Amino acid sequence: MAVSEIAFGNWITHGAQVDNNTAYSCVHAALDAGITTFDTADVYSETRAESVLGQALKDQVDNRIHLDSFLFNIWIHTMLCIKNR
């Protein structure tokens, strides 16, 4: 599998700053431009970013998409924040 040189990240946009239809259009434009690597995580827009990206990609039938996702453990983060106070 080839990974595109440029990745599409949806950290603060999907599920928060742009409506879903605009986000879908952006993802499809990225695919049309040859971008096949997408970055998301469960903490982006409180999990909404992953859902929006999933909806945008759900009808893609080929194997050209590379999805990078990071699972953030809120319990560990909370414990570290409390410990460092």
Which residue has tokens 């409390």?
Answer: 82
Q: Which residues are catalytic?
A: 44
| Dist CA 50 CA 59 (whole Å) | 15
Cα angle 38-24-50, degrees, rounded to a multiple of 5: 50
Position 29 scores a pLDDT of 94
Q: pLDDT of 21-63, one tens digit each?
A: 999 999 999 989 988 888 887 777 777 888 888 888 888 766 6
18 Cβ contact list (under 8 Å, min separation 6) = 26
CB 68 within 8 A of CB 39: yes
Rounded CA-CA distance 16/24 in Å is 13
Domain regions of the chain by residue span: 7-83
pLDDT digits 0-9 by tens, 59-76 = 876 666 766 665 555 555
pLDDT tens-place string over residues 1-27: 677 888 888 876 777 788 999 999 999
